[in-house]
Amino acid sequence: MARWPTRRRGGSASRTAGPRQQILLRLYDWSEWSRQVFLGVQGFVHSRPNWQLHVITGPPAVSNNVGTIKWDGILTHVPSDISATGRMLREGRTKIVSFTALPHKTLLKLPTVRVNEPAMARTIGQHLLSGGFRRFAYCPVAWKYPCVDYRAKAVLEFARSVDCTCDMEQQTGTTISAEDRSITRWLLRLEKPVGIFAWNMPEAVRIVRLCLAAHIAVPQQVAVVSWDDDPLLAVSISPSVSGAVVPAERLGYEAATLLDRLLDGGTPPREPIIVEPSGLLHVRQSSDVSTIADRDVHLAVQYIQEHAAHPLGVKQLVSELQISRSKLERDFHRVTGKTMNQMIVAAHLDLAKQLLVATRWPLDRLAKSAGFGSKQHFHRTFRRVEGMTPALYRRQFRA
């Protein structure tokens, strides 16, 4: 998989004035993910005064509108615009870049920018594992065309890597109500407890709603995590829905960068350009670790999360909870798959990553606020676990 050198915003000098290039950004809707992609594309367009950006949103029925203008370039994640896309490809003048994780099988050779889906699957999967879930399931979005689902592949690969089972939902309904019935039957059939990877936040909210209607306890029997995060939609239902942080703005920026290279006569990359995620996940009620059956382990995990901003050791944890250390260590590893020290370090790092992205604090202040105590200890631990320095992580993932 190709990893293209990132172009800094502002890019090269403005080009010679001339006819403006007509650029289409094709989005399915105005979800939070789509808005972030748009911001990324727009950020690149600011350095290209010769680009005239148009945005078309809507389901595949609007694909007829795609061919009404002689586009110089198209950025798209709507892989069902097959007829219009195929016609423009045959004509050869329009440059097209795809950024979908669900491409049509006939368009797999399009120049592509994608998020590292296996890394996203690991972020969600490790979170579910830490909550005691050893069975997984994946619920895709229902598309009525032959496609390749890279998220499904990533979930299956992760499940195999940790020796866990994974059930894949196959929607059979032709209407929304029929799809709901199909998903409900699947939810009832799943062996529980189970952690579900949902394609996106609307699908995750749908799963939670159907679980409640079928009297399936969330998160005690079914934990649900969305592949992306939409904070407003996530809290539109109770229990609220957990979501992973997708680098959608970065995805849009890199897709626009690739299109610009193609318009300049560059050779299309042979492999997709991969955008790395930050590894952050916003935990809400739908996957809260209170699902852990072992009360002592649950209390220990809860204490670690609540005290991530302060220095914490296993001895202090055991003392505060007044629990036998040897028994807790055995139960903790059996339930979560991690040692208590590993969980403590992970909690500190999760908080540190959030602060690196959300603030401009100097590293010494950030280290203390994330419970590391010293800048040196923070830097050493972060580099050992994450494979990069805190400063590099901030540069790479800060919007």
Do 102 and 121 lie in one domain? The reply is no
The whole-number pLDDT of residue 17 equals: 56
Residue 12 in domain: no
Same domain (yes/no): 170, 222? yes
Q: Which domain holds residue 141?
A: 117-245
Residues 221, 137 share a domain: yes
pLDDT of residue 77: 85
Which H or E element spans position 74? strand 73-76
Same domain, 72 and 29: yes
Same domain, 47 and 132: no
The pLDDT-based confidence of 12 (bands split at 50, 70, 90) is: very low
Considering the domain architecture, whether residues 241 and 261 belong to the same structural domain is answered as: no
Residue 104: Cβ-neighbour burial (10 angstroms; 0-12, 13-18, 19+) = buried
Distances (CA, A) of 197 to 77, 235, 255, 307: 21, 18, 26, 28
Facing residues of 21 across strands? 51
Encode pLDDT of 193-217 as tens digits: 899 999 999 999 999 999 999 999 8
How far, in Å, CA of 21 to CA of 324, rounded? Answer: 69
| Amino acid 10: pLDDT | 43
Say if 306 falls within a structural domain: yes
For the sheet with 21-27, list strands across it.
51-57, 21-27, 73-76, 95-98
Q: Which residue has the higher pLDDT, 295 or 228?
A: 228
Q: What is the dihedral of CA 214, 220, 222, 227, to 10 degrees?
A: 130
**Lowest pLDDT segment from 62-71, 143-152, 240-249, 332-341:** 62-71
218 shares a domain with 153:
yes
Co-location of 135 and 222 in the same domain: yes
* Whether residue 333 sits in one domain with residue 296: yes
> Hey, which of 208-222, 288-302, 325-339 has the most confident mean pLDDT?
208-222
Backbone angles phi, psi at 90, to 5 degrees: -65, -35
Q: Could you give phi then psi for residue 229, rounded to 5 degrees? A: -120, 135
Using an 8 Å Cβ cutoff, are 139 and 169 in contact? yes
Phi, psi of 152 (to 5 degrees): -60, -45
Q: How far apart are the first and last CA of the chain?
A: 24
At position 294, the amino acid (one-letter code) is D
Decide if 10 is inside a domain. no
pLDDT of residue 6: 46
Please say if the pLDDT value at position 39 is more than 50: yes
Q: Above 90 in pLDDT, residue 382?
A: yes
State the total domains in the chain: 3
| Contact of 241 with 286, CB cutoff 8 Å | yes
Identify which of 228, 233, 220 has the alpha carbon closest to the alpha carbon of residue 286. 220
- Record the tokens describing residue 78, joined without a space: 């709507």
**Could you tell me the CATH number of the domain that includes residue 169?**
3.40.50.2300
